[in-house]
Amino acid sequence: MLLDLRGRRVVVVGGGPVAARRAEALADAGSDLVVVAPAVCEPLADLIADGCASWQPRQYRSADLDGAWLVHTATGDHDVDAAVAAEAEAARVWCVRADDAAASAAWTPAVARVGDVVVAVSGGGDPGRARALRNSVQAALESGDLPLRPVRGGGAGSVALVGGGPGDPGLITARGRQLLASADVVVVDRLAPRALLDDLDDDVIVVDVGKTPGHHPVPQDEINRLLVEHAQAGRRVVRLKGGDPFVLGRGGEEALACREAGVPVQVVPGVTSAVSVPAAAGIPVTHRGLSKQFTVVSGHEGLDWPSLAASQGTLVFLMGVSLLADTAANLVAAGMAATTPAAVVEDGYGPRQRLTTGTLADIADRAAAVGAKPPAVIVVGDVVNVATPPPVCT
């Protein structure tokens, strides 16, 4: 049974750490909380100072239970706790005893909370077991491994722009995983961690807006419209993107479209492929003595080649494998040494991950020889020489 204690008088008898833990939960529940104790520990004192509880600085009296809906007694004195419990029983007030669960008329479970989901766990009189179980349930809720999606409809719609990371389903954030588990609609990119879609309920709407080089079947304006339309229909929408939504992912445009339409939108950062894919091949984008900075570049738009060639750090090109030969030639023509190390990392953390290295003079030929293709990240700079591919995350 879950009790709505908002505005209802609840009494905590005792001023120590156990009483403080009980009081904090009761204050969070919005109760009209009264603490009865000659002295209180620091957490209770803070709670009282913040106006979350009132304090009667004295020993317990029978009249303290007048008007109470619930009482927790945790004085550490068995006789006092027993007296409080007996008087609560006579007054038909539920009483939780911290000293003797078997003698209690009510028990406090260990509680796991994620958003508006509350799971109470009873350990069968064993608080340690209840806490251990609660921690496991909490972790499963936070990771999205347990179902979080409401079954009953209603409520306002919303949009979450979720960065899914470089593609491995284990590299999405816990917050992103939670939102995905709660979604009514998922609008998904080609490079998002699509394996996670297998865990969705059958009635979740999945809209594929994936793009390939030169082929954009769903224009960005239409994607924006879909997000707004579904949210305005009262649905929880997750826009699942590869990498980070705000790193060459057009997430900013989608967020603006939602805000202009009055749709609540939140952004959940992701592990950007600009950093993670080189790392999958053992290439750090910064390295002491080699590079103090890195520049992330869209590999298929008009670029300021002289500025890039003059860069003192690492260059990371996204979406640029098809124009690799032009990129290398333009950098050399703008003054970068043809001997500058370069690398192509394909399908980072994916089943066909592959690293091809060379220099600006020959990287395009080397990549063509092995048939390099998207998705791939190009790295230019001395950090390429550090590459020592670690085991791929599984």
Asked whether the predicted pLDDT for residue 116 surpasses 90, the reply is: no
* Cα first-last separation, the chain: 41
Identify the band that residue 394 occupies on the pLDDT scale cut at 50, 70 and 90. Answer: very low
3-state secondary structure of 229: helix
Query: Burial code of 166-184, b = ≥16 C-beta within 10 A, e = fewer?
Result: bbbbebbbebbbbbbbbbb
In a domain, 260, yes or no: yes
Q: Is the same domain home to 73 and 120?
A: no
Among 255, 271, 287, give the residue marking a domain's end. 271
β-bridge pairing 314-318 and 376-380? antiparallel
In a domain, 7, yes or no: yes
- Percent of the chain at pLDDT > 90 equals 72
Q: Is the same domain home to 121 and 181?
A: no
User: Residue 338: which of 312, 356, 363, 320 has the closest Cα?
Assistant: 363
CA dihedral 201, 203, 209, 212 (to 10 degrees): 50
Identify the band that residue 392 occupies on the pLDDT scale cut at 50, 70 and 90. Answer: very low
Asked whether the predicted pLDDT for residue 373 surpasses 70, the reply is: yes
CATH number at residue 221: 3.40.1010.10
Identify the band that residue 267 occupies on the pLDDT scale cut at 50, 70 and 90. Answer: very high
Q: Is the same domain home to 164 and 265?
A: yes
For residue 346, the model assigns a pLDDT of 96
For residue 26, the model assigns a pLDDT of 93
In a domain, 152, yes or no: no
Asked whether the predicted pLDDT for residue 301 surpasses 90, the reply is: no
Catalytic residue set:
189, 211
CATH number at residue 101: 3.40.50.720
Q: Is the same domain home to 31 and 114?
A: no
For residue 347, the model assigns a pLDDT of 93
Q: Is the same domain home to 234 and 319?
A: no
Average pLDDT value for residue range 312-316: 95
- Could you list the residue range(s) of the whole structural domain that residue 15 is in? 1-108
Q: Is the same domain home to 78 and 53?
A: yes
Q: Is the same domain home to 243 and 289?
A: no
In a domain, 254, yes or no: yes
In a domain, 153, yes or no: no
For residue 142, the model assigns a pLDDT of 77
Rg (CA), the chain: 29
In a domain, 56, yes or no: yes
CATH number at residue 367: 3.30.950.10
User: Residue 342: which of 334, 351, 332, 352 has the closest Cα?
Assistant: 332
Among 251, 271, 291, give the residue marking a domain's end. 271
Identify the band that residue 393 occupies on the pLDDT scale cut at 50, 70 and 90. Answer: very low
Among 49, 84, 108, give the residue marking a domain's end. 108
Query: Could you give the angle at which helices 174-182 and 127-143 cross, rounded to 10 degrees?
Result: 80
pTM beyond 0.85:
no
Average pLDDT value for residue range 83-105: 89
Q: Is the same domain home to 266 and 278?
A: no
Q: Is the same domain home to 199 and 296?
A: no
Q: Is the same domain home to 292 and 358?
A: yes
Q: Is the same domain home to 314 and 230?
A: no
Q: Is the same domain home to 262 and 280?
A: no
Residue whose token pair is 């179980």 = 133
Question: How many domains would you assign to the chain?
Answer: 4
